[in-house]
């Protein structure tokens, strides 16, 4: 198993550009999450999904969109990039059961200039 795969690892965007952060997991996990982490700060939940076809907003959803057409994939879309979206983005997945750990991707460092 590859676990959670995130791409790209680094990206620089200009203000107003769009991009999609890719996240895929091969563990058949139902729960998937997108977090952002600003320097020196904790993780903030952007969006999450409890299964294919189901998504919901987290704490900081503005400026982002997600889709979950399959169990494996959970892409995060930035439509009009803004400097406030400069951050490190982590995707994670969880089987959704007690005492089962959360798996993280290696992160995407995004700069919007």
Partner 1 sequence: RKEVEQDPGPFNVPEGATVAFNCTYSNSASQSFFWYRQDCRKEPKLLMSVYSSGNEDGRFTAQLNRASQYISLLIRDSKLSDSATYLCVVMDYSGGGADGLTFGKGTHLIIQP
Beta carbon nearer to partner 1, 16 or 51: 51
Are 22 and 75 spatial neighbours (Cβ–Cβ below 8 Å)?
yes
Using CA atoms, how far apart are residues 109 and 13, in angstroms rounded to an integer? Answer: 11
Beta carbon nearer to partner 1, 46 or 78: 46
Are 49 and 56 spatial neighbours (Cβ–Cβ below 8 Å)?
yes
Q: Both ends of the chain: CA-CA distance in Å?
A: 36
The contact pattern for partner 1, residues 1-30, with x = CB under 8 A and - = no contact, is ------------------------------
Residue from 65, 73, 75, 104 in contact with partner 1 (CB under 8 A): 104
Residue from 90, 93, 110, 112 in contact with partner 1 (CB under 8 A): 90
């Amino acid at each position: 198993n590859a676990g959670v795969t995130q791409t790209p690892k680094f990206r620089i965007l200009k203000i107003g550009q769009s991009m999609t952060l890719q996240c895929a997991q091969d563990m058949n996990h139902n729960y998937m999450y997108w977090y952002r982490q600003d320097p020196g700060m904790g993780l903030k939940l952007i969006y999450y999904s409890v299964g294919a076809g189901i998504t919901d907003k987290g704490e900081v959803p503005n400026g982002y969109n997600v889709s979950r057409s399959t169990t494996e994939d959970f892409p995060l879309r930035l439509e009009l990039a803004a400097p406030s979206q400069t951050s490190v983005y982590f995707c994670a997945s969880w089987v959704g059961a007690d005492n089962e750990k959360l798996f993280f991707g290696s992160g995407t460092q995004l700069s919007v200039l």
